Amino acid sequence: MRPPVGGQCGRFHDGGTPTQPPDPDAPARVLLERRFTDGQETWAMLRRVAYDDRRLGELLVPADLGSFTSDLTSVPSVLTWLVPRTGAHLPAALVHDGLVGPADDGAPAYVSAEGHVVDRVEADRVFRDAMADTGTGVVRRWLAWSAVTLVTLLGRGQPWPAWRRWRYRLAVLGSLLLVVWLGWCATWDVLDRSAPAAPGAPWIPEGSFAAELVAGAAGALVVPLLLALTWGRFRVAGAVLGTGLAFLLHVTVVVAALSALAWAAEALVARAPRVAAALAALVVAAAGVVLVVALLR
């Protein structure tokens, strides 16, 4: 029987350096150096991290301290409020980066003490178990695991036949796009408004706003679970991502819009500061007018 997963932070230990052997009795030491490569922020590890996996034994990351870099937890900026780039799960993220990222010469970026070759799917499983051992919460670690599984299914690094790769890609993209479209339809249905490409959601009855909202939430839960069955052996990841997308769609859109607005403001200030200042003054003046009119009504 497989040992229980979670709450075993001692499975991480000091991985040493190429001249210093790992020390199973010493806690993991995450020492990072910030670097910029082609304008992108990356982090070099100054010391290895070792993880004692339940199936694979001791895994050391990275194999070569001199060439390995990491972007920490690979999360889109609009989702960092949900899964931050760093935190208790950071050692697990670094181990995962080493397991999935080949070195510059194409060799593995990890060392397996027992000589295992770790494919992408197994690396994602190690990531999930390692997050549990760092004390990462259940919801956050399953979301993070589902996200890296999505990358695995859409990528090219799997030794699967071409038909299977495309089967997964069509199932993943088709189900997630369908969830987005159905969410679009359900939103306008609940608001009793019409919109382009929004014929309405058949499971939302005509009635009070509360009744329609409850029906919409029920659809946001059940429909993604059914669509996740098309993901085959990865249906759990499909269920997590599908339901997460359905319930967090509106929040993510708002965060993405605000992020885009902040980026546009930064670009305008950098390229045309006078135009930015004039535009800011105009916005403040317009807001003042709106406030005065509202108070006088």
Q: Are residues 134 and 200 in the same domain?
A: no
Specify whether 85 is located in the same domain as 143: yes
Q: Looking at the structure, do residues 268 and 236 belong to the same domain, yes or no?
A: no
DSSP code per residue over 17-73: BTTB--BTTS-----EEEEEETTEEEEEESS-EEEEETTTEEEEE-S-TTT-EE-SS
> Is the same domain home to 116 and 234?
no
Amino acid at position 261, single letter: L
Kindly state the tokens that stand for 276.
Answer: 């930015």
| The last residue of a domain, from among 95, 128, 154 | 154
Among the listed residues 23, 37, 28, the one whose alpha carbon sits nearest the alpha carbon of residue 69:
37
Residue 4 is assigned to a structural domain of this protein:
no
Q: Which pTM was predicted? A: 0.83
Strands of 124-251, DSSP E: none
- Same-domain status, 180 and 226: yes
Rounded distance, CA 92 to CA 241, Å?
20
For residues 170 and 228, membership in a common domain is answered with yes
pLDDT value of position 94 = 94
Q: How many domains does the chain have?
A: 3
Residue 2 lies in a domain: no
Q: Containing domain of residue 110, as a range?
A: 9-154
Are residues 250 and 264 both part of a single domain?
Answer: no
* Domain shared by 182 and 208, yes or no: yes
For residues 167 and 144, membership in a common domain is answered with no
Domain identity same for 235 and 150: no
pLDDT in tens, 161-207: 889 999 999 999 999 999 999 999 999 999 888 899 988 888 988 88
Residue 3 lies in a domain: no
Q: CA-CA distance, 134 to 116, in Å (whole number)?
A: 23
Query: pLDDT tens-digit profile of 114-141?
Result: 999 999 999 999 999 999 999 988 988 9
Residue 140 and residue 226 in one domain: no
Domain stop point among 154, 177, 205: 154
What is the per-residue DSSP string for 238-286? HHHHHHHHHHHHHHHHHHHHHHHHHHHHHHHHHH-HHHHHHHHHHHHHH
The answer to the question of residue 35 being in a domain is: yes
Q: Tell me the average pLDDT of the chain.
A: 88
User: Do both 105 and 149 map to the same domain?
Assistant: yes
Determine the Cα–Cα distance for residues 27 and 31; give it in Å rounded to an integer.
12
